[in-house]
Copies of this chain bind each other. A is one copy, B any other.
C-alpha cells in the first residue's frame, strides 16, 4: 500500500510517499512543490497541477493531509486551508480517499505525545522509515510524518489484529 502525505502551504507544499508492507514502512519519494507565481489563483493552479502529477506518477492508495493549526495564526491557517482544499480536491478527483490529521495527532502518532517538538517528530519518523538521515527540507519531512501517522492510525491496528 502506497500512502502519500501532504504538508499543505500556498508557497511550499511538502509531499512524502511511503510504502507500507506487512513488515515495514519504506520511503519511496519526497520533496516540495513550490510556486511563487502571482496572482494566488495561478499559484493554486500550479500546486494543483503538481499534486496531480505526483498522483499520476505514483498512484497512491490513500492521501493523508495535515490540518491547519487554527490557534496560532488565523492568516496562516487560511493559507494552509486553501492549500489543503486544493490537495483534497485533487485526491477526490482521482478517486483516492483523503484523510486529515491535526498537528497534535501527527505528533502523538510519532512520539506518543501531542505536544512534542518538530525535531522529536522528525527523528522518530526517520527511525520508523529505517533511514539514516533526516529527509529534508522540513516541509517534506512533515509530509512524511503525516503519511506515517495515517498508517499508524488506520492500518497498524488491522495488521496487528490479523497477526494475532
Contacts and interface: CB of A to CB of B under 8 A. Distances in A.
Copies of this polypeptide in the complex = 2
A contacts with B: majority SS: helix
Given A74-B74, A77-B74, A78-B68, A41 B88 contact: yes
Nearest to A65: B41
Given A78-B68, A78-B77, A89 B39 contact: no
Q: Which of A40, A68, A83, A100 has the most CB of B within 10 A?
A: A40
Interface string A71-101: 0001101110111111011011100011010
Q: How large is the interface on A (under 10, 10 to 19, 20 to 34, 35 or more residues)?
A: 20 to 34
A41 B97 CA distance: 8
Interface in A81-127: 81-86, 88-89, 91-93, 97-98, 100
